[in-house]
Amino acid sequence: MIPVSEPLFDGNEKKYLNQCIDEGWISSEGPFVKEFEEKFSSYLGSRYGVAVCNGTVALETALFAAGITKGDEVIMPTFTIISCAAAALRLGAKPVLVDSEPETWNMDVTQIEGKINDRTRVIMSVHIYGHPVDMDPVIELAEKYNLKVIEDAAEVHGALYKGKKAGAIGDVGSFSFYANKIITTGEGGMVVTNDEETAERARSYRNLCFKPGRRFYHTELGENFRMTNLQAAVGVAQLEQIDRFIEIKRAVAKKYSKGLAGTPGLKLPVEKPDVKNVYWMYAIELAEESGFDAGRLAAHLAEQGIATRPFFLGLHEQPVFHNMGLFVDERYPVAERIARQGLYLPSGLTITGEQISKVVVALREALCHG
Ligand SMILES: Cc1ncc(COP(=O)(O)O)c(C=O)c1O
């Protein structure tokens, strides 16, 4: 099987991990955690980084740090991972949804204003599959209505929007370093911000809201979301390679786009002006007239040894939320269509040109001959 994603560890990962073991620093108290926070946030152009144990809790920590609490509303795309809505719900806030725009599959920013009311506190911009959200209109709305902007940048390490790194544009950025992400720590995440108080609240929340100066005394409920020194050691080594990894992702995308150009019934990923797409995954959408939906094409490719992944099923279509009385009669036609017609192709950092060619031939044959 050609895998969808494989990490690449050909830098200092083993050396730094050995250092942790040799020196006995394995918990979150070790020096690599601070080093990873400082180096990753400064790579983004952000002042503070707070490392946590995955990207899901990074979102919750970001919302807590931004002051979100019971009864608040958080506007987010329906086309995203469940982590976004779960983070809001865990803090007692309500996720409020918008549809995707069809070109980049990112949130349709023209729908945000219609969802703002006096309980709205945050716009959560989720950058999808490597392509940044159109952030200028989001920032303008946030200024107009006095809202915070949280970016879920799990899938866009190093992507640029008008020269700025995604994740460092809004008030708070949230990252994942899961094994399939551009740089990985196995499991891991980070919250970044330029605001000292927000960073302090994030640090406090990930560490059980211990009070500085008085141990085991709490005025708020926090969590143990700490990242270990072992994870951060891998993160520091991976970060040394990030520019190369992004170049690999872009080269993979270029080869796919060249091979697949003109294939009937296939929509390829775009790179809008003023944006650098890092093509975290090479995602495609099938026209309904192609005779294929994502499930059928995935099964067809799997028979030929090619692994794929389906697109997200929108939050408004999730039974778990219907059971909670959320989003019951809501419809988002773009998200509904792409959930059924979209999938992503093998895009790992170790993929070879030969493997990409095999995927291209299989796809062209399927779509040209049915
Ligand atoms: C957009 C987005 N946000 C958040 C997450 C959650 O990150 P994690 O798997 O590290 O919890 C993911 C997926 O991993 C994601 O794709």
54 within ligand 1 shell (Cβ under 6 A): yes
Identify the pLDDT of residue 369: 81
By the 8 A CB rule, do 189 and 56 touch?
Answer: yes
Digit-coded pLDDT (tens) for 308-327: 999 999 999 999 999 999 99
Cα–Cα nearest to 297, from 342, 357, 346:
342
CA-to-CA dists, residue 221 to 56, 58, 210, 302, angstroms = 18, 16, 9, 46
Report how far residue 202's alpha carbon sits from residue 37's, in angstroms, rounded to the nearest whole number: 13
155 within ligand 1 shell (Cβ under 6 A): yes
By the 8 A CB rule, do 334 and 102 touch?
Answer: yes
55 within ligand 1 shell (Cβ under 6 A): yes
pTM listed for this prediction: 0.98
Neighbours of 71 (CB within 10 A): 10
User: Count of alpha carbons within 13 Å of 84, Cβ hemisphere only?
Assistant: 31
Ligand 1 atom with minimal separation from the 127 CA = 1
76 within ligand 1 shell (Cβ under 6 A): no
CA-to-CA dists, residue 12 to 205, 233, 234, 262, 312, angstroms = 31, 9, 8, 42, 34
> What's the 178 CA to ligand 1 centre distance in angstroms?
7
Identify the pLDDT of residue 211: 87
By the 8 A CB rule, do 2 and 355 touch?
Answer: yes
Number of helices and strands (H, E) in the chain? Answer: 12, 14
Identify the pLDDT of residue 370: 66
Q: Are strands 342-345 and 309-310 parallel, antiparallel or unpaired?
A: antiparallel
Report how far residue 266's alpha carbon sits from residue 135's, in angstroms, rounded to the nearest whole number: 27
Ligand 1 atom with minimal separation from the 56 CA = 11
Any idea which residue has 């080594």 for tokens?
237
> What's the 154 CA to ligand 1 centre distance in angstroms?
6
> What's the 336 CA to ligand 1 centre distance in angstroms?
20
Report how far residue 97's alpha carbon sits from residue 85's, in angstroms, rounded to the nearest whole number: 9
By the 8 A CB rule, do 31 and 25 touch?
Answer: yes
Determine what percent of the chain is predicted with pLDDT higher than 70.
100
13: its two tokens? 């990962």
For the chain, which residues score pLDDT lower than 70? 370
By the 8 A CB rule, do 313 and 337 touch?
Answer: no
Ligand 1 atom with minimal separation from the 187 CA = 10
Identify the pLDDT of residue 215: 85
Cα 224-227-233 angle, rounded to 5 deg: 165
342 within ligand 1 shell (Cβ under 6 A): no
189 within ligand 1 shell (Cβ under 6 A): yes
Neighbours of 14 (CB within 10 A): 13
Report how far residue 363's alpha carbon sits from residue 344's, in angstroms, rounded to the nearest whole number: 12
Identify the pLDDT of residue 73: 98
CA-to-CA dists, residue 54 to 51, 68, 146, angstroms = 9, 20, 29
Phi-psi region of 57 (alpha: psi -120 to 50; beta: other; left: phi over 0): alpha
9 within ligand 1 shell (Cβ under 6 A): no
Identify the pLDDT of residue 101: 98
Report how far residue 75's alpha carbon sits from residue 301's, in angstroms, rounded to the nearest whole number: 36
The closest residue, in CA terms, to atom 8 on ligand 1 is 55
The best mutation among 133, 178, 223, 225 to test binding of ligand 1, ranked by most ligand atoms within 8 Å of the C-beta, falls on 178
Q: Say which residues have a Cβ less than 8 Å from residue 17's Cβ, sequence separation at least 6.
A: 230, 233, 234
By the 8 A CB rule, do 180 and 238 touch?
Answer: no
The closest residue, in CA terms, to atom 7 on ligand 1 is 55
> What's the 155 CA to ligand 1 centre distance in angstroms?
8
Which residues, listed in sequence order, are joined to residue 128 by a DSSP beta bridge?
131
